[in-house]
């Protein structure tokens, strides 16, 4: 797979070359953990890639759910994208201010909504800025564009499906959280959640998939990380994390490796960890 693939991942060079394309849409999907002290919208207002629109992961979600940033209803996604001037025939590039953190969630959300021409910016805004590339603080000029959505239900899993997969062991459940959280050695950042992981899950902390400069490792190196974590790549995969954001980095990596049978557990640990009736494993098991 070529490094630049407009359906998965593109380099800062690629984006710089295509920035003036009339059908390119750039989205700043920055989001940070509660308590990080960073305000993604304020950072976007101060400086962003020219023409970028701000994608608010918390607002473009299902606000009827008490879980954070769950997948929005189709009609809400369509109306928000229309208001942002993102629609059919556009090539979308998503980036974030951490490098490669929350952008993959929005990439996955577009795939869930049946949109194929969407890629993550490899290395994100930090790499773009480190290379001295152009930024602006102006809001973009928006023109309405209709979007046809065909939701791909096989790309998302709910708690019932994940519970069955955990019992039957017919999927690999892969958890993107840091190892101490996976093993249950530290409290969860969200109050009220138990510590540990879904029984049978494997731990691939998302940071292990990144190179030192915050870009995604090449496909063969990604494969080695999954294999070293004990992941059986012949099984379909379900990714999980704290609240369904960094899990999508695993989905992006699996796609880059050429694996297509994977989905994301939207509720992730913020759902599983709150129900006393669901089993929790600790340690490496």
Which residues are the active-site residues? 241
Residue 212 is classified by DSSP as T
Residues 203-229 as b or e (16 or more Cβ within 10 Å = b): bbbbebbbeeebbbbebeebbebbeee
3-state helix, strand, coil in the chain (%, to 5): 30, 15, 55
Q: Which residues contact 233 (CB under 8 A, 6 or more apart)?
A: 172, 223, 226, 227, 257, 259
113 by Cβ neighbours in 10 Å (0-12 / 13-18 / 19+) ranks as buried
227 φ/ψ angles, rounded to the nearest 5 degrees: -65, -40
Query: Distance between CA 97 and CA 60 in Å, rounded?
Result: 18
CB 166 within 8 A of CB 198: yes
Residue 284 has a CB neighbour count (10 Å cut-off) of: 11
Element (H or E) spanning 237, and its range?
strand 237-240
Measured N-to-C along each axis, helices 219-228 and 247-256 cross at an angle, to the nearest 10 degrees, of 120
Q: What is the DSSP string of 109-125?
A: HHHHTT--SEEEETTHH
């Amino acid at each position: 797979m070529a490094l630049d693939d407009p359906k998965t991942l593109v380099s800062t060079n690629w984006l710089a070359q295509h920035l003036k394309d009339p059908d390119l849409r750039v989205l700043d999907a920055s989001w940070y953990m509660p308590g990080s002290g960073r305000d993604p919208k304020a950072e976007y207002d101060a400086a962003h890639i020219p023409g970028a629109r701000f994608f608010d992961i918390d607002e473009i979600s299902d606000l009827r759910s008490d879980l954070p940033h769950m997948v929005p209803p189709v009609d809400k996604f369509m109306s928000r994208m229309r208001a942002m001037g993102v629609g059919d025939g556009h090539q979308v590039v998503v980036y974030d201010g951490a490098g490669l953190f929350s952008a993959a969630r929005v990439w996955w959300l577009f795939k869930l909504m049946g949109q194929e021409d969407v890629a993550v910016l490899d290395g994100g805004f930090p790499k773009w800025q480190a290379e001295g590339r152009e930024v602006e603080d102006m809001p973009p000029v928006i023109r309405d564009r209709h979007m046809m959505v065909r939701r791909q239900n096989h790309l998302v899993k709910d708690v019932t499906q994940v519970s069955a997969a955990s019992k039957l062991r017919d999927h690999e459940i892969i958890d993107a959280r840091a190892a101490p959280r996976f093993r249950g050695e530290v409290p969860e950042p969200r109050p009220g959640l138990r510590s540990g992981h879904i029984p049978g899950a494997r731990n691939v902390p998302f940071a292990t998939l990144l190179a030192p400069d915050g870009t995604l490792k090449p496909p063969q190196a990604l494969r080695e990380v999954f294999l070293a974590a004990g992941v059986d790549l012949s099984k379909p995969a379900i990714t999980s994390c704290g609240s369904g954001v960094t899990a999508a980095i695993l989905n992006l990596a699996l796609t880059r490796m050429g694996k297509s049978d994977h989905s994301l557990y939207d509720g992730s640990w913020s759902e599983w960890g709150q129900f006393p009736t669901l089993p929790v494993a600790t340690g490496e098991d």
